[in-house]
Amino acid sequence: MGKAKIVEITWLDTYHVGGAGLTRKEVAELRPVSSISYGRLIEETDDYITIASSIMEHGIGGEQPEYREATCIPKVVIQSIRELK
């Protein structure tokens, strides 16, 4: 198995407030949250990027790698991608 690139992805995530009620003003002040995710680049398409924090070389059934903590991020919310060395 070849080494997958390690990347840092900065992206906008949703922000959710549950439980207590909010005023109209408080709701209007809600904003997406800038998030940073790190991982091995597993797949990149025109629409999304998929990363995983760990790759177990002898994973499921001992035949294929097993990917852990996988995250698929839509490109429309990605602010930047940086390869880490």
Contact 68, 36 (CB under 8 A): no
How far are the Cα atoms of 2, 5, 36, 70 from residue 84, in angstroms, in the given order? Answer: 16, 8, 13, 18
In single-letter form, the type of residue at position 8 comes to E
At 2-26, the pLDDT tens digits run 688 999 999 999 998 888 789 999 9
* Domain locations along the chain: 6-84
At 25-69, the pLDDT tens digits run 999 999 999 999 999 999 999 999 999 998 887 756 667 788 899
User: What is the value of pTM for the model shown?
Assistant: 0.81
Please report the beta strands in 1-85, taking only residues with DSSP state E, as ranges in sequence order.
6-13, 33-44, 48-56, 66-74, 78-84
Report residue 8 as tokens.
């840092």
Phi-psi region of 19 (alpha: psi -120 to 50; beta: other; left: phi over 0): left
